[in-house]
Amino acid sequence: MENIFKDRPERFCKHCKKCGENCNFINNFYEKPPEDCGFEGWFFLEWEKYKQNIRKLKERLLVLNVQLKNCKDAKKATKLASDLQKTTNKIESYKNIGPTDL
Ligand SMILES: [Zn+2]
């Protein structure tokens, strides 16, 4: 997964003095930017994208679970189980940057 926090556009905030390079602010979605920080808008948009990604993955998980439950074909079931595991892992990997119990 690309690190949106590491690659964030620095130009958005040069005034609040709380979100600079040596500061730990805004390295994940567990925290919020400081007040009056220029990254607030950027953070909001990224947070919305993040939530959408998580929801899509969870939807996929639901669909795969149902398909697997109804699957009679062993070969297809193996493929579904593999997809299910991959999707679960992907959701798990998001925990590095934010909550996944949305
Ligand atoms: Zn700032």
Residue 5 lies in a domain: no
C-alpha 49 – ligand 1 centre gap (Å): 21
Write the CA distances from 102 to 27, 30, 51, 65, 69, integer angstroms: 19, 12, 7, 19, 25
Q: How many domains does the chain have?
A: 1
Residue 4 lies in a domain: no
Residue 32 lies in a domain: yes
pTM: 0.84
Nearest residue to 82 (alpha-carbon basis) of 98, 67, 97, 93? 67
Contact 94, 43 (CB under 8 A): no
Residue 17 lies in a domain: yes
Residue 55 lies in a domain: yes
Q: Which amino acid is at 70?
A: N
C-alpha 65 – ligand 1 centre gap (Å): 43
Q: How confident is the model at residue 31, as a pLDDT?
A: 85
Note down the domain range covering 17. Answer: 10-94
C-alpha 13 – ligand 1 centre gap (Å): 5
C-alpha 41 – ligand 1 centre gap (Å): 11
C-alpha 59 – ligand 1 centre gap (Å): 35
Per-residue pLDDT of the chain (102 residues; tens, 9 = 90+): 567 887 788 788 878 888 766 555 678 898 888 888 888 999 999 999 999 999 999 999 999 999 999 999 999 999 999 999 999 999 999 999 999 998
